[in-house]
Structure 1
Amino acid sequence: MLMQHAEPATGNVAVTQADVRPYAWVVFALTVGLLLSDYMSRQVLNAVFPLLKSAWGLSDTRLGSLSSVVALMVGVLTFPLSVLADRWGRVKSIVLMAAMWSVATLGCAIATNYGEMLLARAFVGIGEAAYGSVGIAVVLSIFPARLRSTLAGSFMAGGALGSVLGMALGGAIATRLGWRPAFGAMAAVGLVLVILYRLVVTEKRLAPLQPAHAGKHAEGLGVRMTLRALMRGLFSTKSVVCAYVGSGIHLLVPAAIWAWMPSFLNRYYGMAPGKAAMGGAVFVLVTGLGMVVCGNLADRLSKNARERKWGSAIAFCLLCFVLLAVGLRMPAGPLQLIVIGAGMFFSAGASGPSGAMVANLTPPSIHASAFATLTLANNLLGLAPAAVLTGIIADRIDLLGALQLVPFAPLIAAIAFVIGKRNYAGDLDRLNALREQAMR
């Protein structure tokens, strides 16, 4: 007889009070709203690449560095800042981070040269560093464990939607008013959301939504935990390491395509910068839709078979590889864009399953730190190098040739997920056994 997948109960929400679940959705909406602002501030740059290239005479390498420096700062700082957030308070940390990236985006609007812009973009990254890990930790703490892939996929899809808005609105504003007002508008959105979040979300109001065993005891455990114990919790199994690595490498695709699609459409399809930004935003929107659908599909497929989360992630990576490898070698035209779009639908499809794997394989008290580690892998292995490496290669051959190399990333990610799948069942059984012993 097959045993039903018994996942940790972290995040199970008591629904005996009628006001609990509605407030949980309010928190989810506001947290995703700030994520939208995060990615609007990050991706508005891609919409104005052609304008900056013309105004300051920048090479593709320098353009790519303005995008990659944000992900680099996120990658370097996400772990230490997330550990501090676990101790200092997640809600206070979220408010501070969002205020910082909004002010830094305003700094981008007044930059007068490449050096100043690079510095401002670095501070955007510092502000955003721990938001993804802390935000998703807050969300997962107030919802049932059975929704983890759906929530993780939907949360990350918020980043895709924010990228759509940043590129589309940024391109439209830049076309009419210039690139500086485009950055200013993104900063204004962030500051308004910061004020709203500060007024509505508090640790005190979140407490009743969290399960009893994730309360003061878990909080105290997180504060008292030594670095050595924390490392053991974060890297306790081979399968969780594979989840980190596979997730990070597979995200190189959306990072590279999102950054360079407006320039690709501008150079190879002759689109004006504003229209190219709108076209690029469509591909981002397709990616976000894919995150939600793929995350929900992974939850459904793995309901009674725990290894299917890994199988889903592998399938999404392979589909992305095949579709993009074919699409980027087709002649320019509507059919090429359709096939590329199909590949982008699956390009971040493993994000939801990866988030669920990490949540299942790490202790509840260090989930913010665990998602910080996932964010670290996502940025250092995928998001940070994607734009600048593509730019460096494009300066040596051309942009199309550089983009044709990108689809090999999900093929490597699929190998990592295959290794993780082989170890997942034993790792999860062993961790669940240890948790049961600790509760006795």
Structure 2
Amino acid sequence: MRITAADKSLGTGPDKAEHWPVPRRQAWFAFVMAFLLMMFDYMDRQVVVSMFPALKAEWGLSDKELGALTAAVSITVAVFAFPIALLADRWSRVKSIVVMATIWSLATIACGLSRSYGQLLASRAVIGLGEAGYGAAGGALLTSMFPAARRATVVGGFLAAAVVGSVLGVALGGFITARWGWQAAFGLVGVPGLVLALLFLLVRDYRTVPLTDPEARRLGVRGVLRGLLGPRTALICYAGGALQLLTVSTVYVWLPSYLNRFHGLPTDRAGLMTALVLVLGSVGIVLWGYVADRVGDTNPQRKLMVPSACLVVASLLLSTGFGLMQPSSLQFVVIAAGGFMMTAASGTVPAAAIDVIHPGLRATAGAMVAVVQNLFGLAAGPLITGVLSDAFGLVTALSVMSFFCLASAAVLMLGTRVYPAELNAARTLAAMTMRSD
């Protein structure tokens, strides 16, 4: 039997399970634009880590002060992610993204003009203000355009841009700092974001989804929080994702300094080797998100088992590499392998959290993930590591932080018991909402 394009769009043929809410070209254009903006978002965020040796030498900073330069971004993201994403849910995802990208790009350029540690720290905090709701709004926009069966893969691909941007930020930061100084690096990575912000106006937004069920209809702080914190799967994903990111953020922020201090590498080479680990992490996000989608397609309970198993392996590899091995090529291979495994939850966990939340709170659910993960993961990881490093040395700090992957795996395994039932409940509510329109 011949299947026409119309049949596919109506969901009457073999592709019914992959019904596309919008034309595929429109969906993929939105994905490319969102991916590029996320990439520059994290270039602006991560470019500073390769500058640590230069900043430490120029201003005599402690490891705690260096860690605060990354924590400042994550803290402001955590503080403002929820209200900004709620505004995006009720106003416009596209317009919100344009405003946010403009703010963080200008703040990055301002970092290069800083003349003191205080000015640099303040400018870094403003970067976080701009980035606060982007991941949530971008993720919500993409999940509205792609089939549900591809959601974790698409979200994983979108979030993989964060690692690609981190790769480029770390590599370029080290390269430019070694040749022209750290001020130039901020300017060169800040300008492209302004261009992409304007181009993002070409992306089509989805219609704001009304909150029609009795609980969500109350809106207000209490009603929204009930919708976001009610599902146990969501709570588990918030906590498990934050624990994972304590390790991930530590490795990404402090590996260049570790390679500089203990392998004796200059900033450009340390940045390139760290970039390789970040590339492996990016591949891991997409690969393990795809695997989780496939094994969870027939049995949703298995969806969270995939990142749990990967995080156990990551913890063993990283704790062995940093804690038991001397600096060498083999040690770096072990650390890189751990970097490939430690990002396994980065795509699946946000997707699973969004899966069990009311469809009218998608961006806000993504913001809740961002709040918890940024405050208790991305901000806390580098700062805790800096404090431990000042007290006990960087090697001990990195070894200790590796075990948070193990804790994340234990938390996510709890989610396998409740996710299937809550997923079915959310799908039923979404179907009722669509029929009522």
Give TM-score, length-normalised by structure 2.
0.91
Provide the rounded CA distance (Å) in 2 between the counterparts of 1:164 and 1:76. Answer: 26
Aligned to 1:292: 286
Residue of structure 2 equivalent to 1:226: 220
Specify whether residues 269 and 220 from structure 1 end up closer, same or farther in structure 2 by C-alpha distance, changes over 3 A only. Answer: same
1:10–1:113 Cα change, 3 Å: farther
**Structure 1, gaps ≥5 residues long:** 1-8, 208-214
- Distance of 1:437 and 1:156 partners within structure 2: 30
The answer to which of 391-400 and 222-231 deviates more is: 222-231
CA distance in 1, matches of 2:309, 2:151: 19
2:121 to 108, 118, 137: 118
Task: Find 2:150's aligned residue among 147, 150, 162.
Answer: 147
Within 2, Cα distance between the matches of 1:432 and 1:103?
41
Matched, 1:330 2:325: yes
Indicate which of 74, 77, 80 corresponds to 1:74.
Answer: 77
User: Where do 4+ consecutive residues of structure 1 move more than 6 Å?
Assistant: 219-224
Aligned residue in 2 for 1:427: 422
- Distance change in 2, residues 1:124/1:10 (3 Å): farther
Deviations 1:370-405 (A, max 9, x none): 000011111122111111110111011111111000
- In structure 1, how many angstroms separate the alpha carbons of the residues matched to 2:17 and 2:368? 19
Q: Which residue of 1 aligns with 2:348?
A: 353
1:384-403 pair list within 5 angstroms: 384-403=379-398
Equivalences for residues 198-209 of structure 1 within 5 A: 198=201, 200-201=202-203, 205-207=204-206
Distance 2:178 2:137 in 1: 35
Which of 337, 340, 365 lines up with 1:342 in the alignment? 337
CA distance in 2 between partners of 1:33 and 1:306 (Å): 31
Instruction: Tell me how far 1:219 sits from its aligned partner.
Output: 7.2
Task: Assess if the C-alpha contact under 8 Å between 1:87 and 1:223 holds in 2.
Answer: no
CA contact (8 A) 1:48 1:170 kept: yes
User: CA contact under 8 A between 1:152 and 1:351: conserved in structure 2?
Assistant: no
One-letter amino acid matched to 2:176: I
Please give the alpha-carbon distance, in whole angstroms, between the structure 2 residues aligned to 1:10 and 1:61.
51
Number of residue pairs the alignment of both structures matches: 417
Partner of 1:253: 247
Q: Verify the 8 A CA contact 1:32 1:158 in the aligned structure 2.
A: yes
Change beyond 3 A, Cα 1:399–1:24? same
Q: Is the 8 A contact 1:11 1:140 kept in 2?
A: no
> What is the distance in 1 between the residues matched to 2:425 and 2:142?
26
- Whole-Å separation in 2 of the counterparts to 1:271 and 1:333: 12
Q: Is the 8 A contact 2:228 2:365 kept in 1?
A: yes
Give the C-alpha shift of residue 300 in structure 1. 1.2
Q: Which amino acid aligns with 1:421?
A: T
Match of 2:86 in 1: 83
Q: Residues 11 and 141 of structure 1 are in contact (CA less than 8 Å); yes or no, is this contact kept in structure 2?
A: no
Q: Do 1:291 and 1:349's aligned partners in 2 also have CA atoms closer than 8 Å?
A: yes
- What residue is the counterpart of 1:59 in the other structure? 62
Deviates more, 1:320-329 or 1:260-269: 320-329
CA shift at 1:232, angstroms?
Answer: 1.9
After superposition, the C-alpha distances for 1:274-333 in whole angstroms (9 at most, x for unaligned) are: 111111111111111111111111111111011111111211211111111111121111
User: Kindly tell me: are residues 217 and 125 of structure 1, through their superposed partners in 2, closer, same or farther at Cα, counting changes over 3 Å?
Assistant: closer
Q: Secondary structure at the match of 1:404?
A: helix
What's the counterpart of residue 363 of structure 2?
368
Percent pairwise identity? 38
Matched AA of 2:351: A
Q: Residues 289 and 345 of structure 1 are in contact (CA less than 8 Å); yes or no, is this contact kept in structure 2?
A: yes
Cα distance change, pair 223–191 in 1 and its aligned pair in 2 (3 A): farther
Letter in 1 for 2:210: A
Name the SS for the 1:112 alignment partner: coil
User: Counterpart of 2:188 in structure 1: which amino acid?
Assistant: A
Q: Distance in 2 between matches of 1:435 and 1:395?
A: 51
| Contact 1:133-1:375 at 8 Å conserved across structures | yes
Deviates more, 1:91-100 or 1:321-330: 321-330
Distance across 2 between alignment mates of 1:379 and 1:159 = 13
Paired residue for 2:376, among 381, 385, 400? 381
Change (3 A) 1:106 1:349: same
1:98 aligned partner: 101
Q: Which of the numbers 294, 303, 319 marks the counterpart of 1:309?
A: 303
Distance 1:342 1:425 in 2: 31
Separation in structure 2 between the aligned mates of residue 36 and residue 384 of structure 1, nearest angstrom? 19
Paired residue type of 1:130: G
Letter paired with 1:312: V
1:410 CA drift (Å): 1.1
Contact 2:21–2:146 under 8 Å retained in 1:
no
| Aligned twin of 2:165 | 162
> Which of residues 190, 193, 197 in structure 1 aligns to 2:196?
193
Deviations 1:12-37 (A, max 9, x none): 5246xxxx211211111111111011
Q: Distance in 1 between matches of 2:96 and 2:342?
A: 30
Q: Which residue of 1 aligns with 2:264?
A: 270
> Quick check: 1:86–1:223 contact (8 Å CA) kept in 2?
no
Distance in 1 between residues matched to 2:79 and 2:416, nearest whole Å: 28
Aligned amino acid, residue 105 of structure 1: T
| Structure-1-length-normalised TM-score | 0.90
**Cα distance change on mapping 1:29 and 1:393 into 2, 3 Å:** same
Contact 1:268-1:332 at 8 Å conserved across structures: yes
Change (3 A) 1:219 1:234: closer
The offset of 1:431, in angstroms, is 4.1
Q: Deviations over 1:244-280 (max 9, x none)?
A: 1101111111100110111000000000111111111
Instruction: Verify the 8 A CA contact 1:148 1:355 in the aligned structure 2.
Output: no
1:4 alignment partner in structure 2: none
Q: Are the equivalent residues in 2 in contact too, given 1:10–1:364 (CA < 8 A)?
A: no
User: Which of residues 174, 179, 204 in structure 1 aligns to 2:177?
Assistant: 174
